[in-house]
């Protein structure tokens, strides 16, 4: 799917938000990369108590964001969004790297496979929300960041040649500041939102038993999945 996110809409607001993000960094790493710079993102510490015994193929993160759905005003005050052009790599590439790294460290699955064989469990991740922005107000600005990550898990190929859908859920988190004269940059908030999202996703996969061949997976139909909006 072709992204229609603010990533492709550079603006003066985005440049301003980027400048705020880098201010006060001192001698810290200036690399604008979520996956490699701990100034923006630090891996969550999550290790399952019952490691899985099946291999998983993780499809590349699909960009399903829709910038047209984002509000531009709230109670008469403008909302400005930052763009993906702040980052040194595409957002979906960075999120993909983080997701794979965290899945490996969690020990939820026995291994991450290079391809999807008939017996391999398949995870299809989609980025449905990755937003940074600021809202003007009487007493200053409020900055915010939101992440929404949909994870679909498909089981091994059955006798009918189809893969059953074992898990389908949108995980997400929203971070925001109070209105103030100099709020923290939303580019710093997005890392925290992604941390909470990844933590909830790992916990959700762990509880679903999709990685344990000896335990029946708790199936979730497409209709029962929470597609409408990320959890908060």
pLDDT for 202 equals: 98
Task: Please give the average per-residue pLDDT across 12-33, as a whole number.
Answer: 54
> Over the chain, what is the mean pLDDT?
82
CA-CA distance, 103 to 111, in Å (whole number)? 9
Q: Is residue 70 part of a domain?
A: yes
Q: How confident is the model at residue 181 (pLDDT cuts 50, 70, 90)?
A: confident
Q: Is the pLDDT of residue 190 over 80?
A: yes
Task: Please give the average per-residue pLDDT across 180-193, as a whole number.
Answer: 86
Task: Please give the average per-residue pLDDT across 88-110, as a whole number.
Answer: 97
pLDDT for 220 equals: 55
Say if CB 111 and CB 55 are below 8 A apart. yes
**Whole-Å CA distances, 68 to 6, 71, 128, 146, 214:** 9, 8, 13, 16, 44
pLDDT for 173 equals: 97
Task: Please give the average per-residue pLDDT across 74-97, as a whole number.
Answer: 89
Q: Is residue 221 part of a domain?
A: no
CATH number at residue 155: 3.40.50
Q: In the chain, how many domains are there?
A: 1
Q: Is residue 227 part of a domain?
A: no
Q: Is the pLDDT of residue 7 over 60?
A: no
pLDDT for 9 equals: 42
Task: Please give the average per-residue pLDDT across 57-73, as a whole number.
Answer: 87
CA-CA distance, 230 to 146, in Å (whole number)? 9
Q: Is the pLDDT of residue 20 over 70?
A: no
pLDDT for 117 equals: 94
Comparing CA positions, the residue from 96, 158, 157 lying closest to residue 127 is 96
pLDDT for 147 equals: 97
The domain in which residue 71 lies consists of 6-22+44-208
Question: Mind spelling out the 3-state secondary structure of 113-175?
Answer: CCCCCCCCEEEEEEEEEEEEEEEEECCEEEEEEEEEEEEEEECCCCCCCCCCEEEEEEEEEEE
pLDDT for 72 equals: 73
Q: Is residue 36 part of a domain?
A: no
Q: Which region among 101-105, 182-186, 188-192 has the lowest average model confidence (pLDDT)?
A: 182-186
Q: Is residue 124 part of a domain?
A: yes
Task: Please give the average per-residue pLDDT across 7-13, as a whole number.
Answer: 43
216-223 long-range CB contacts below 8 Å, 24 or more apart? Answer: 217/153, 217/155, 217/166, 217/167, 218/166, 218/167, 219/164, 219/165, 219/166, 219/167, 220/165, 220/166, 220/167, 220/168, 220/169, 221/165, 221/168, 222/165, 222/168
Is the pTM here over 0.85, yes or no?
A: no
CA-CA distance, 73 to 86, in Å (whole number)? 23
């Amino acid at each position: 799917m072709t992204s229609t996110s603010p990533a492709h809409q550079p603006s003066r607001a985005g440049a301003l938000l980027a400048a705020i993000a880098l201010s006060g960094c001192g001698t810290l790493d200036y690399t604008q990369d979520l996956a490699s710079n701990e100034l923006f993102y630090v891996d969550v510490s999550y290790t399952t108590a019952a490691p899985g015994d099946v291999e998983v193929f993780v499809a590349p993160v699909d960009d399903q964001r829709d910038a047209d759905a984002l509000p531009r005003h709230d109670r008469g005050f403008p909302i400005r969004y930052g763009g993906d052009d702040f980052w040194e790599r595409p957002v979906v590439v960075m999120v993909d790297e983080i997701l794979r790294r965290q899945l490996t460290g969690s020990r939820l699955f026995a291994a991450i496979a290079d391809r999807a064989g008939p017996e391999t469990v398949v995870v299809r991740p989609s980025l449905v929300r990755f937003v940074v922005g600021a809202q003007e107000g009487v007493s200053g600005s409020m900055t915010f960041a939101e992440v929404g990550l949909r994870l679909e898990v498909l089981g091994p190929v059955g006798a009918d040649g189809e893969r059953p859908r074992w898990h389908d859920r949108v995980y997400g988190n929203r971070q925001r500041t109070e209105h103030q004269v100099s709020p923290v940059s939303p580019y710093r908030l997005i890392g925290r939102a992604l941390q909470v999202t990844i933590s909830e996703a790992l916990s959700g996969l762990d509880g679903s038993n999709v990685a344990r061949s000896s335990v029946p997976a708790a199936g979730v139909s497409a209709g029962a999945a929470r597609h409408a909006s990320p959890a908060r």
